């Protein structure tokens, strides 16, 4: 459908691939994805921090009302995830929705986020899945 321009995919690749968050040098808080100013105190004095790859599931929703292109992995689980220094919303994969519990440990995994039609780009990024190894 041509929604993902090369430039847009390219610009955002680093934070999408590596869980790079913004961190405010003024108030110390982290936010993901990195913004132009701290969402908490408004400071533009920011640096970057790589977020932990393991966190906990605060809440989740099992979404059946998904777009057609995501039907192959529906229902899609959307989770609110606490990574300690920041929270984020992300897709939770590799689990039967019925097996998921609030409080579960989840780990970051590198996945396809979107595939743009038959000829467009493959967009990669981070999703999460329940930790079962180690």
Partner 1 sequence: MALMPERGAGIHGWGVYIPRFRIPMQEIAREWGWPDHQWRALGMMEKAVAGPDEDSTTMGLEASLNAIRRAGVNPKDIGAVFFGTESKPYAVKPSATIIAEAIGATPLTMASDLEFACRAASEGIKASIGLVTSGMVKYALVIGSDTAQANPGDVLEFTASSGAAAFIIGSSKGSAAVFEGSSTYVTDTPDFWRREGSPYPRHGEGFTGEPAYFAHIIGAVRGLMDKLGLKPSDFNYAVFHQPNGRFPLKVGEMLGFKPEQLKLGLVTPMIGNTYNGSALIGLARILDYAKPGERILVAPFGSGAGSDAYSLIVTDVVEEKRGRAPLVDDYINDKISIPYSVYAKFRELIRVVRE
Partner 2 sequence: MVYVTGVGLVNVDRHYDKSTRRLAFEASTAALESSMAEGVDFIIVASSISYLHEPQLDLASYIASSMGLRGVRSITVECGEASGLAAVMTAKALIDSGQASRVLVVGVDKLSEYPSWRVYKNLSLLYDTESDAFYSIGLGGIAGLLMRLYMNVYNVDRLTLAYWPALMHQNAKANPYAMLRFAITPEKVLEAQPVAEPLTLLDTFPLGDGAAALVLEGKASRGVLAEIVDVESATGYQSIALSDDPLKIESLEVAYGRLVERTGMGSVDVVELHDSFTITGILILETLRFTERGKAAEAVAQGVFSVGGEGPVVNPSGGLKARGHPIGATGVYQVAEVALQLAGEFPGLKVDGARSGLVVSINAMGSSSYVAYMRAVG
Q: How far is CA 8 from CA 68, 108, 116, in A?
A: 23, 22, 13
Q: Which stretch binds partner 1 (CB under 8 A): 26-34, 35-43, 63-71, 82-90?
A: 63-71
d(CA 52, CA 108): 9
Minimum CB distance to partner 1, residue 6 (Å): 11
DSSP three-state, residue 98: helix
| Using rule CB under 8 A, residue 25 touches partner 1 | no
Tokens 């982290």 — which residue?
30
In 4-79, alpha helices (H)? 6-11, 13-18
Q: Which is nearer to partner 1, 7 or 133 (CB)?
A: 133
Q: Which does 67 bind (CB under 5 to 8 A by kind): partner 2, partner 1, none?
A: partner 2
Instruction: Please answer whether residues 24 and 45 qualify as being in contact, where contact means their C-beta atoms are separated by less than 8 angstroms.
Output: yes
Q: Which is nearer to partner 2, 46 or 60 (CB)?
A: 60
| Using rule CB under 8 A, residue 64 touches partner 1 | no
Q: Which residues contact partner 1 by CB under 8 A?
A: 1, 13-14, 17-18, 68-69, 71-73, 93-96, 109-113, 117-118, 122, 124, 127, 129, 132-134
């Amino acid at each position: 459908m041509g929604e993902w321009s090369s430039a847009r995919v390219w610009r955002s690749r680093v934070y999408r691939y590596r869980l790079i968050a913004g961190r405010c040098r003024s108030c110390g808080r982290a936010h993901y994805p990195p913004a132009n100013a701290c969402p908490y105190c408004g400071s533009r004095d920011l640096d970057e921090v790589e977020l932990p790859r393991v966190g906990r599931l605060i809440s989740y929703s099992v979404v059946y009302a998904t777009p057609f292109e995501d039907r192959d992995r529906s229902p899609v689980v959307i989770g609110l995830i606490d990574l300690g220094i920041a929270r984020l919303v992300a897709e939770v994969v590799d689990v039967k929705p019925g097996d998921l519990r609030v409080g579960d440990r989840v780990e970051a995994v590198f996945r396809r986020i979107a595939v743009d039609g038959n000829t467009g780009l493959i967009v990669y990024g981070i999703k999460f899945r329940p930790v079962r190894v180690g």
